[in-house]
């Protein structure tokens, strides 16, 4: 049976370009980038070349890029590194209800440390209102953290407007860009962010390597301790092969983003329209909001999303009922309930996330599989009643 992968927001396959860049480094570049001999300096050169590639992708200065293990560490370093080192006695952080667990979990830990946290609501379109962020400001506010694009519903947040509010208030602004990088142009200077997180395994590089952009002049303390690597911001021997892989992924995106974005948007629209034509009592969450071009979150009334994920897997299609980090959770997605979906509808949702190796034939096959699986699941559901009956 052929198998097709439609869960690229969870993780992507490693691309040929990345493998071609990675393999020679694994074979030949075994020195420690902190060593002064030939082997160490060879590793250092490869590390800094990768730093330039990642910086170029988001229009940053290479010295503003800190290599880390992934998006979660990048978010944690940004949040803890600014808030814990802020000099105010009382501290307050603003975020939203639909952030990734890497941000919400860090904020929950800050609360246990005595920091006050405001989680701003979003609208039914999955987008936060900048004025709501402004109204949440307090004299004690030290950080605002709002993601660039949501991992489950794909909605794009008004980051530049929020950054302007933060700058006017003299507050640092962090954005989780893990689901935005590679799907849309990112210019950290145009956005006005102080800190911006990204990771490799969402953009066709291996897991275990990410980066945090730190604007020059941003006061950021370490949250790990040891050596003086990464300008004293992230101690530990650098993962040179991982950095090179991330750099190669960044290079491909820089050269191909516009065409790939248009291609993915066309496939996403084809998928949504095809399913809506074939499946009654279904809909697209936040369809009219600005969204990343590869992401579609749809509801199918009368069925359980996890059951549909399994049914599609048995037909050869990998999809998701939400964030991979929350897989297996009994409660419905916090993102879907935050946009106002009733619990039962939230439980019926599926996320389709497309990538480089999806094409029109795969999309058409997925439409057929969804139509068949939903029809079968509804036929055995004791509660489903067609809206037209």
As annotated, the active-site residues are 325
Measured over the CA atoms of residue 344, residue 296, residue 99 and residue 118, the dihedral's sign is negative
Say how many C-beta atoms besides its own lie within 10 A of residue 62's C-beta.
Answer: 14
Give the Cα separation of 71 and 103 in Å (integer): 10
Task: Estimate the crossing angle of helix 71-83 against helix 101-112, to 10 degrees.
Answer: 30
List, in sequence order, the alpha helices (H) in the chain.
Answer: 16-28, 38-58, 71-83, 101-112, 130-136, 159-169, 188-191, 229-232, 240-278, 305-314, 334-338, 343-347, 360-379
Cβ-count burial 9-24 (b if 16+ within 10 Å, e if not): bbbbebbebbeebbee
Q: What is the CA radius of gyration of the chain?
A: 22
| DSSP state, residue 184 | B
Give the Cα separation of 230 and 67 in Å (integer): 7
Give the Cα separation of 97 and 83 in Å (integer): 19
Give the Cα separation of 122 and 118 in Å (integer): 13
């Amino acid at each position: 049976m052929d198998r097709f992968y439609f869960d690229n927001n969870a993780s992507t396959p490693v691309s040929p370009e990345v493998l071609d860049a990675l393999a020679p480094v694994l074979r030949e570049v075994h020195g420690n980038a902190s060593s002064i001999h030939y082997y160490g300096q060879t590793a250092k050169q490869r590390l800094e070349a990768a730093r330039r590639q990642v910086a170029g992708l988001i229009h940053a200065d290479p010295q503003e890029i800190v290599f880390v293990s992934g998006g979660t560490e990048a978010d944690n370093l940004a949040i803890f590194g600014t808030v814990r080192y802020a000099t105010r006695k009382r501290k307050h952080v603003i975020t939203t209800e639909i952030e990734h667990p890497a941000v919400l979990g860090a904020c929950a830990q800050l609360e246990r440390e005595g920091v006050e946290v405001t989680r701003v609501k979003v609208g039914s379109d999955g987008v936060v209102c900048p004025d709501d962020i402004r109204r949440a400001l307090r004299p004690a506010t030290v950080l605002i953290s709002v993601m660039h694009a949501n991992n489950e519903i794909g909605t794009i947040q008004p980051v530049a407007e929020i950054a302007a509010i933060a700058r006017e208030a003299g507050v640092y602004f962090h954005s989780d860009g893990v689901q935005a990088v590679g799907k849309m142009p990112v210019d950290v200077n145009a956005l006005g962010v102080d800190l911006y997180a990204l990771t490799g395994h969402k953009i066709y590089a291996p897991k275990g390597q990410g980066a945090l952009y730190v604007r020059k002049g941003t006061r950021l303390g370490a949250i790990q301790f040891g050596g003086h690597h990464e300008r004293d911001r992230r101690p530990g021997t650098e993962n040179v092969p991982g950095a090179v892989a991330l750099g190669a992924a960044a290079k491909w995106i820089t050269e191909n983003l516009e065409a790939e974005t248009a291609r993915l948007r066309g496939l996403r629209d084809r998928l949504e329209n095809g399913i809506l034509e074939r499946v009654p009592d279904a809909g697209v969450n936040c369809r009219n909001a600005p969204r990343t071009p590869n992401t579609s979150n749809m509801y199918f009334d009368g069925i359980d999303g996890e059951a549909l994920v399994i049914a599609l897997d048995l037909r050869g299609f990998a999809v998701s009922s939400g964030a991979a980090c929350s897989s297996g959770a009994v409660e419905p997605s916090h993102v879907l309930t935050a946009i106002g979906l009733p619990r039962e509808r939230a439980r019926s949702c599926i996320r389709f996330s497309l990538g480089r190796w999806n094409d029109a034939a795969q999309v058409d096959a997925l439409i057929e599989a969804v139509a068949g699986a939903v029809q079968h699941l509804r036929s055995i559901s004791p509660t489903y009643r067609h809206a037209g009956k």
